[in-house]
Amino acid sequence: MNTASKSVVGIDVSKSKLDVTLLADGKQKNKVVLNTKQGYKELAKWVERQGVQIADVHACMESTGVYSEPVAFGLLDLGFKVSIVNPASVKGFGQSLNVRNKNDAVDACVIARFCVAIDPALWVPPTPQLRQLRAWHERLGALKEMRQQEFNRIEALEFAEHSDVAKNVKTHMAWLDEQIAKVKKDIDDLIDDDPDLKRDADLIESIPGIARTTAAKVLARVGNLRRFGSAKELAAYIGVTPRQRQSGTSVRGRTTMSRMGSGELRTALYMPALTAIKRNALLADFAVRLRSTGMAHMAVIGAVMRKLVHQMYGVIRTGKPFDPNYLAKRLAIQDGI
């Protein structure tokens, strides 16, 4: 695609600044602004000084957790069209361009060229409730990580006969347990108090193998599942789609999961997949079929994880609780992962 036909802004986001590349009228211009509301306004004024209308600009940035979303909200408020894209996709695109250098300015340029070539979907802002749910889940994860670290310290302390210090660590673990329980309750209350979140959580929980904890994590990390055009798109977003490694007659690599999406969600789906193999009739039969072909144990679990994602998408899109007879007619059972 010719850059002259489209105005794009590629943004490399960091905590303190934004490195920006503007591609417009076949020209490239660069700018650095502060990662603040005033910096966003400065960026908008700079774009207009280049003779480009804000409403005509497609701004693109990588998903960088807590730093990218405030930028996206700030630019949306100023009239930009905004996309937040998978960093792995941008990295692969940069490699295809044979880009050898890596710094913030180069990254911004690659993101801009990616936006021109791929024309990624526009970002749909999460609701305040979804943002709050995500924040609570991030806090819950941090508390669990701290607890595990303290648990790991106890064995070393007791081995070194530092019983008093070990006792102090156990006291801290007890406090962490209280906080973890409180945050879990806050998450449940947040979902129960919001009709849309509760409806979606109940639909996802209707799938055998998925409990409230997993449903809440999916909603926190993915947001509105309806924004995806198909179950395959959702599976690709999470990173449970198959990745084949075959070429000609000589390369016959093992098919694996792509792992290009959220590692946290894939981890969260592991135990539900094991449970689903026992309690979800559709997926139990599916697992038996895959094992009969000689598929490895972990590959079978990965395939079941993908089917769970398809079932989640199915209940959300239809607005109906899980029904194995309904889904059996509409979700094709495919071999492999």
Listed as ranges, residues in the chain with pLDDT below 50 are 1-4, 244-253, 255, 331-337
Domains of the chain by residue range: 3-118, 128-193, 205-330
pLDDT at position 148 is 95
**Which residues does 22 contact at the CB level (< 8 Å), separation at least 6?**
7, 8, 9, 28, 29, 30, 31, 47, 50, 52, 57, 112
pLDDT at position 98 is 80
pLDDT at position 328 is 52
Q: What are phi and psi of 255, to 5 degrees?
A: -75, 130
Write the CATH number of the domain with boundaries 3-118.
3.30.420.40
**Which residues does 222 contact at the CB level (< 8 Å), separation at least 6?**
234, 237, 238, 265
pLDDT at position 1 is 40
Q: What are phi and psi of 145, to 5 degrees?
A: -65, -45
pLDDT at position 263 is 75
pLDDT at position 334 is 44
Residue identified by tokens 């630019």 is 75
Contact 123/72 with Cβ under 8 angstroms?
yes
Angle at 173 between CA 172 and CA 175, to 5 degrees: 65
